[in-house]
Structure 1
Amino acid sequence: MSEQNDAVSIPTGNPPATDKPGFRPAVVAPVPLEAVASSLGIALPPDSAATSVTGVSLNSRTVEPGDLYLALPGATRHGADFVSQAVAAGAVAVLTDEDGARQLALEDLAVPVLIVGNPRAAVGSLAALVYRSQPLDGVSPTLFGVTGTNGKTTTTYFINSLLRALGMNPGLIGTIEILAGGEAIPSLLTTPESTDVHALLALMRERGLEAASMEVSSHALSFHRVDSVTFDVAGFTNLTQDHLDLHGSMDEYFRTKAELFTSARARRAVVTVDDPWGRQLADEAGISVTTLSATPGGGADWTVESAKPRGLGTDFELRHRDGTVLRVHTGLPGDFNVANAALATIMVLDSGIEPSALQAALDGHDPFTVSVPGRMQLISDAPAAVVDFAHNPDALARALKAVRPQAPESRVIVVFGATGQRDQGKRPTMGAIAARLADVVIVSDDDPHDEDAAAIRSEVIAGARAARESEDLDCEIVEAYPRDVAIRQAVELATEKDTILVAGRGHEVWQEVKGVNLALDDRVELRAALTARGFKVSTDERIES
């Protein structure tokens, strides 16, 4: 996904950017530019003592009158290139670095320019200052931050649903959408830019929201998107191979995630300790930690026990060391959704909710049966057809295991690919996993970006074929593209007893190919293919044909 600021190039074919993204509170008290300069430890520019700001923006297209425009350096363009547009839109001051200042010295600007060595690192604190997003008066929403490789989105949806079951009016900031009360705002990043995060938190407080849950990706931490945000409860799901194109190694990936579990970013934490990284995090975290294990005998503070299937989902108990028991149900399939539901439960409990109130909400509302768009989303029952976001080895393995039918004559047909310009090493691994766990493996395209799509497919197929030959696997391996053709082929091969898993893109509705975003929604394509064959599909108003 593309960052929505002026420091990077944005693929064509996106839906048009709106002038007002809807993230901001209705009223922002002016902040003197002198206070901004003081917070940065720099001198106030001449003749600017009377200037005040009422907003912060990284994007000249979303500047509103009274904004401080942040002209940041980027990979392809410098934000200073867009200062004239920002000023024309109403920016009253500019913050940039030395390179940007030299560029702006050639222009006749009518607004003051603040210069700092690393403006990116200053964005979060400035946004917090201007929007007063986390005042010390106890009226901010209770904040839940969830990180990990897999499960972040579902866990935040589960938290949001549980808070509603408790009678609260919560918000949500995540991959799929942003909810500020009843209003949904489409999300372009796993975590928005810090300017938007702080504006959203101020908006939620203005609307009287009592709590909010947020996905916190490693990119968000690396790129300062959650700077100056303090979470009341931080949660950790798991850590598996992903994003090594950014972090270089699993150790660096872990170190980035671990930044969330420090006193500067969170007050307390719930950490799932079912992998070595979780156990290491629990040992090293700089804040109070409650441990959780989805495996009986895991030696954690809270443990999942007595798990029993009910429909597609699971009934289970959460048992504390002291004997306290919570009874929980999730209607979503897979052991990983048991872990997600358990994490959401304990995070809400650790925010200060009484166990009896929590149990009443769990019993009375079944909050973990909420449908999460693009996360194990059921499109039809016969054949069982599911769309999931599984886009890395661990997630793909979990998803394939979760959808495996009980009947021995039923087959699993999987459609998936690998993303271009991302962690090339996981491609053959994902092919091998599909060969081991599916009966028909259809390799297609995910988001090729600027890479050759055929080359990506060949790496995935090589891994699948190698596993089939070396492990004597009985699976069919097919290459099909473009992706809509692959989905139709999967449906053509399926009987009512089979299961189709379309993995990797989930809720996403745009496929990036050579800098162009093409409209593509796996859920729409799968529904259309099933309907064409006469299969009955589910009704979900969030899937727009």
Structure 2
Amino acid sequence: MNAQELIQIIPDILSVKGYTDVPIESIDYNSKRIKNGAIFVAIPGFNYDGHDFIPEALERGAGVVIGEKALDLGGKLYIRVKDSRKALALSSAWFYGYPADKLKLIGVTGTSGKTTVTYLISEMLKDIGICTGIIGTIGNVLNNRKLPTSHTTPESLELNQLFSKMVEENIEYLAMEVSSHSLKLQRVEGIKFDVGVFTNLTQDHLDFHKTFEDYFNSKKKLFSQSKQAVINIDDESGKRLLSIINIPRYTYGLDKKADLRAENIRMTANGVSYDLVFRNKIYPVFYSTPGLFSVYNSLAAITAGVALGFPIDDLINTLKKAKGVPGRFELVENNQGIIVIVDYAHKPDGLKNVLLTIREFCTGKIITVFGCGGDRDKGKRPIMGKISSELSDYTIITSDNPRSEKPEAIIEQIESGIIGDNYEKITERAEAIKKAISIAKKGDAVLIAGKGHETYQIFNDKIIHFDDREVAKECLSKGSFK
């Protein structure tokens, strides 16, 4: 590979300085990983500016540097571009031989439901006999082998590396979460999705986007890169999106105008059943996770499968066998007659939906344990406090991942939205879970919300092992704490 070829595929080049006949062996944006013959892409970040690390990259053997600032590297090839992130995405795709083009891609975006929808799509297609992969919050999955992840949607370099691995392992269909961050930060630039799925849009990530309009516009970008759209027509932003895009689309929801519509919804603690109306035919559907959100998630997955051309009967039959997603309405088994649920709900609508679902089958009281993450949207904290106090019989406010913030300060902000006095504050999360289970009686439900599948807790100066499910199991095994 040669830099002369690279220059041909990078858009918005402002200038090229230096000798261009340079062989290329690798590409990276981290100066510490640079080796001889590498392309180093300098990205202006939120905490660090990649341009400051150009000397280190050159010292380590970088043969080409891409950046946004006007620089002279003394003869070394420097390609100045308008947008380094965009250049990284397109350069990475080029370096790895455009692997995304060799996969059938389903991109799922929205505030809630992305993880579950991608898992359901993968499970259904896998059961039909298709080799599938997943990229998302819980992890990246290649042929049932799970790989760790640090972002919902990886940086464009790592994303193309994953695509390349999936092609090598004969993955045919890939279901991936596409976050608003990844769309705004050009991580999926240049990728064409066979189907783009929109689940919903509610308040979240306003610490990053600042306005709801920017949040919506970032999500909207996915559909300029999709061949077909699958949209939740019951969501106001979904309706708005539907009026803007100009690609083939399928809609789903409870609305009579939806292409795939759920009717006669029946809910139990074991799951949800409904009648799916599609093209004037009725199909009975069962999915083993209860809740109205499960109706929407399963509808989204089935609709995506229909858009891809799979028979609806096959999709519905495979859905019956689909396993639950780790940390999403996950029941912690016990012999004490207490319903203990661990859920990732860390946004207002997520917490509300889970609590409303529990209320439908819980015969006793609902005790909720939750906190909010530090260095994230502060506006949702009092909103979630209000929701928990209104929909739970008792709330224990605790710590989540405080990061650089003081846990007590976060808890106070949650407390400001609480209505009534049916709550208490326990900063230590393990102690909060212990207290909730200790006061629960037979028939009661304990919801441990916010962290779901996570197996760690992030503080300002450390990351510790912490799993809500493990803590709950330990507390339940002891039975009583009096």
TM-score using structure 2 length: 0.92
Change beyond 3 A, Cα 1:333–1:360: same
**In the alignment, is the contact (CA less than 8 A) between 2:286 and 2:319 conserved in 1?**
no
1:286 and 2:232 matched? no
Provide the C-alpha distance between the structure 1 equivalents of 2:144 and 2:99, rounded to a whole number of angstroms: 22
Amino acid at match of 1:533: G
Provide the C-alpha distance between the structure 2 equivalents of 1:442 and 1:292, rounded to a whole number of angstroms: 36
Amino acid at match of 1:57: D
**In the alignment, is the contact (CA less than 8 A) between 2:394 and 2:423 conserved in 1?**
yes
Alignment of 1:302-341 (within 5 A): 302-309=260-267, 311-320=269-278, 322-341=279-298
2:371 counterpart residue number: 417
1:496 and 2:442 matched? yes
Give 1:512 deviation, angstroms. Answer: 2.3
1:151 and 2:105 matched? no
Amino acid at match of 2:397: V
Secondary structure, counterpart of 1:308 in structure 2:
strand
Amino acid at match of 2:433: I
1:229 and 2:229 matched? no
Find 1:404's aligned residue among 346, 359, 371: 359
**In the alignment, is the contact (CA less than 8 A) between 1:37 and 1:43 conserved in 2?**
no
**In the alignment, is the contact (CA less than 8 A) between 2:367 and 2:446 conserved in 1?**
yes
**In the alignment, is the contact (CA less than 8 A) between 1:34 and 1:44 conserved in 2?**
no
Secondary structure, counterpart of 2:416 in structure 1:
helix
Provide the C-alpha distance between the structure 2 equivalents of 1:135 and 1:427, rounded to a whole number of angstroms: 38
Note the aligned Cα RMSD (angstroms).
2.4
**In the alignment, is the contact (CA less than 8 A) between 1:415 and 1:441 conserved in 2?**
yes
Change beyond 3 A, Cα 1:377–1:92: farther
**In the alignment, is the contact (CA less than 8 A) between 2:100 and 2:160 conserved in 1?**
no
1:395 and 2:366 matched? no
1:141 and 2:113 matched? no
Give 1:407 deviation, angstroms. Answer: 5.3
1:374 counterpart residue number: 327
Give 1:401 deviation, angstroms. Answer: 1.3
Give 1:189 deviation, angstroms. Answer: 0.5
Provide the C-alpha distance between the structure 2 equivalents of 1:125 and 1:200, rounded to a whole number of angstroms: 15
Structure 1 unaligned blocks of 5 or more: 1-30, 469-474, 536-545
Find 2:203's aligned residue among 231, 237, 241: 241
**In the alignment, is the contact (CA less than 8 A) between 2:395 and 2:423 conserved in 1?**
yes
Amino acid at match of 1:273: I
Secondary structure, counterpart of 1:98 in structure 2:
coil
Amino acid at match of 1:177: G
Give 1:117 deviation, angstroms. Answer: 3.3
1:77 and 2:38 matched? no
Secondary structure, counterpart of 1:115 in structure 2:
strand
Provide the C-alpha distance between the structure 2 equivalents of 1:152 and 1:135, rounded to a whole number of angstroms: 20
Alignment of 1:14-53 (within 5 A): 31-40=1-10, 41=13, 45-53=17-25
2:304 counterpart residue number: 347
2:380 counterpart residue number: 426
2:134 counterpart residue number: 172
Deviates more, 1:252-261 or 1:518-527: 518-527
2:465 counterpart residue number: 519
Give 1:500 deviation, angstroms. Answer: 0.8
Change beyond 3 A, Cα 1:325–1:150: same
Deviates more, 1:309-318 or 1:156-165: 309-318
1:272 and 2:227 matched? no
Size of the alignment, in residue pairs?
477
Amino acid at match of 1:386: I
1:21 counterpart residue number: none
Change beyond 3 A, Cα 1:185–1:307: same
Q: Deviations over 1:199-236 (max 9, x none)?
A: 21122122211100000111111111111111100101
**In the alignment, is the contact (CA less than 8 A) between 1:411 and 1:498 conserved in 2?**
yes
1:94 and 2:47 matched? no
**In the alignment, is the contact (CA less than 8 A) between 1:404 and 1:499 conserved in 2?**
no
1:445 counterpart residue number: 399
Secondary structure, counterpart of 1:380 in structure 2:
coil
Percent identity reads 32
Find 2:86's aligned residue among 113, 121, 145: 121
Secondary structure, counterpart of 1:38 in structure 2:
helix
Provide the C-alpha distance between the structure 2 equivalents of 1:250 and 1:367, rounded to a whole number of angstroms: 37
Provide the C-alpha distance between the structure 1 equivalents of 2:317 and 2:106, rounded to a whole number of angstroms: 22
Give 1:166 deviation, angstroms. Answer: 1.0
Give 1:276 deviation, angstroms. Answer: 1.1
Give 1:122 deviation, angstroms. Answer: 1.4
Amino acid at match of 1:272: N
Change beyond 3 A, Cα 1:418–1:38: same
Amino acid at match of 1:420: G
Provide the C-alpha distance between the structure 2 equivalents of 1:64 and 1:404, rounded to a whole number of angstroms: 57
Give 1:361 deviation, angstroms. Answer: 4.8
1:531 counterpart residue number: 477
Give 1:282 deviation, angstroms. Answer: 1.1
1:252 and 2:214 matched? yes
**In the alignment, is the contact (CA less than 8 A) between 2:232 and 2:238 conserved in 1?**
yes
Give 1:259 deviation, angstroms. Answer: 1.1
Change beyond 3 A, Cα 1:87–1:312: farther
**In the alignment, is the contact (CA less than 8 A) between 1:272 and 1:292 conserved in 2?**
yes
**In the alignment, is the contact (CA less than 8 A) between 2:403 and 2:459 conserved in 1?**
yes
